[in-house]
Structure 1
Amino acid sequence: MSRWFHRSLVLILLASVAPAWAAIPVYGFKVVHTYPHDTAAYTEGLFFKDGQLYESTGQLGISTVRKVDLESGEVLQRQRVPKQYFGEGIVDWKDRMIQLTWQSQTGFVYDLASLTPKKTFSYPGEGWALTRDDHQLYMSDGSAELRVLDPETLAEIRRIKVTADGVPVTNLNELEWVDGEIYANVWLTSRIARINPTSGHVVGWIDLTGLFDNSQLPNPVDDVLNGIAWDAAHKRLFVTGKCWPQLFEVTLVPRTGK
């Protein structure tokens, strides 16, 4: 999201979720490999399929969906989103790619192979991110709830309330389905929540503090961690951030402490 906050509001947000981080297992990370990433890509959605990365980028007037070569970071295909829309999360379903927009209550369906737009659809409220399992889609909207969508009609089926030790976890952002769990960036933090999709309980935290120093970027408050992709075939986890120069392949390392 491109939402400028007064620093005190950010501190209030962090303080409100901190107690929910206390008693849940925390995982650190080890960087396995780094790949180039387009610093003009304000990353809103990311997934890996058939050897390629698919990425959506935000900001009014310059939002895109794109296919990206992992090794080189080269953009192989690109489709521009109409200028009035702020592009958000994406997910693949069969031969399609589905994209949300932020506050326009409008989503787009593309042909996955060509990235050609096929149709639009509507939903209430904001759109932040998408992921899927083999049967349904999961959508975040910045709240502590994930919406479950029918992948064919894109209608909402139900909602999952996400909690950590009984405390709602808000600002759930970019999503990825990883071995039966939903991984979710917690916006404005360096944490990823590992969510049980049945109960909505956070069963683990991934702490990516120190992965990348975004203070060197032009807009460090905005250019934060956001982007998770999972290569299920080779069990590779990729993460990046908005306008970061690198995409990281990481493995998780269990650790103690908050």
Structure 2
Amino acid sequence: MAFAAVMVASPAAALLPVQGYEVRATYPHDSQAFTEGLFFLDGVMFESTGLEGASSIRKVRLKDGAVLQSVATDDDKFGEGIVNWGSEILSLTWRDQIGYRWDLKTLTRKGSFRYPGEGWALTQDGKSLIMSDGTPFLRFLDPKTLKETRRVKVTAEGRPVQNLNEIEWVKGEILANIWMTNRIARIDPKTGAVKGWIDLSGLPETLSQRDPDAVLNGIAYDRQGDRLFVTGKRWPRLYEIGLKPLKDAR
């Protein structure tokens, strides 16, 4: 997401366990890509970018960051998150309340759908699509009808967590970037409770002040290789990371 109020983490949220990381590999990333969505499938990184007039959906070769295929979304739309489902990619737009269906192989647009409110990110658990909209709520959608079937309120120590941004389903949990922070929330999909935080402070881009919009945003998981990737808006690098054991912030 881009232009909104910055969330200030509550004191209670800071008491949850915090997990560190180690960088296992570094890959080139398009430093002009305003990353909004990310997923890894069959050896290829799929990425969506935002901003009016610059939004796109693309296939990217991991090892060198080369864009293998790209399609622009409507010039007047701010592109947001993406997810694969069957032979399609589904994508969101920020404030236009419209999403699109794309052919997974060709990136040809196949149709559109509507939803209320803002669209920030998408992931899936094999049964439902899961959508973030900048609020503390995650919506679960029927993949065929795109109708909401349920929603959960994300809380940390009982307090709502705002600005849930890019999300990814990883080993039974939902990982969510918290916009304008260096943290990823580990969310229980049944209850919405944050189980802990992943703190990515220390990555070179988190230390730079060159661009206030160049924030952490982008999580992808390689299920076959059990690899976790992260990047950010206009970051020149994409990282494969390993997670360190949880430690109690208390």
Q: TM-score range by the shorter chain?
A: over 0.9
Corresponding residue number in structure 1 for 2:43: 51
Corresponding residue number in structure 2 for 1:73: 65
Q: 2:164 aligns with which of 169, 172, 175?
A: 172
Q: 2:12 is paired with a residue of what secondary structure?
A: helix
Q: 1:62 is paired with a residue of what secondary structure?
A: coil
Q: 1:137 aligns with which of 112, 122, 129?
A: 129
> Which ranges of 4 or more aligned residues in structure 1 deviate by more than 4 Å?
214-218
Cα shift at 1:21: 2.3
Cα shift at 1:24: 1.7
Mapped pair 1:211 → 2:203: yes
2:188 and 2:207 map into 1 onto residues whose CA distance is 33
Corresponding residue number in structure 2 for 1:29: 21
Inter-CA distance 151–4: structure 2 relative to 1 (3 Å threshold): closer
| Number of aligned residue pairs | 249
- Gapped regions of structure 2 (runs ≥ 5): none
CA contact (8 A) 1:214 1:244 kept: no
Q: Deviations over 1:119-153 (max 9, x none)?
A: 01000110000000110010000000001100111
Cα shift at 1:157: 1.1
State the AA in 1 paired with 2:199. Answer: D
Cα shift at 1:256: 4.2
CA contact (8 A) 1:183 1:194 kept: yes
1:114 and 1:140 map into 2 onto residues whose CA distance is 26
- With normalisation by structure 1, the TM-score equals 0.93
Corresponding residue number in structure 2 for 1:194: 186
Corresponding residue number in structure 2 for 1:157: 149
State the AA in 2 paired with 1:75. Answer: V
Instruction: Name the one with the larger helix percent.
Output: 1
Corresponding residue number in structure 2 for 1:229: 220
Corresponding residue number in structure 2 for 1:3: 3
CA contact (8 A) 2:100 2:110 kept: yes
Corresponding residue number in structure 1 for 2:90: 98
CA contact (8 A) 2:156 2:193 kept: yes
2:208 and 2:196 map into 1 onto residues whose CA distance is 29
State the AA in 2 paired with 1:128. Answer: W
Q: 1:115 aligns with which of 107, 114, 121?
A: 107
2:140 and 2:41 map into 1 onto residues whose CA distance is 22
- With normalisation by structure 2, the TM-score equals 0.96
Inter-CA distance 216–26: structure 2 relative to 1 (3 Å threshold): closer
1:105 and 1:213 map into 2 onto residues whose CA distance is 31
Q: Percent same amino acid among aligned pairs? A: 55
1:21 and 1:211 map into 2 onto residues whose CA distance is 22
1:202 and 1:67 map into 2 onto residues whose CA distance is 31
- Gapped regions of structure 1 (runs ≥ 5): none
RMSD over aligned Cα atoms: 1.3
CA contact (8 A) 1:28 1:252 kept: yes
Q: 1:240 aligns with which of 215, 231, 236?
A: 231
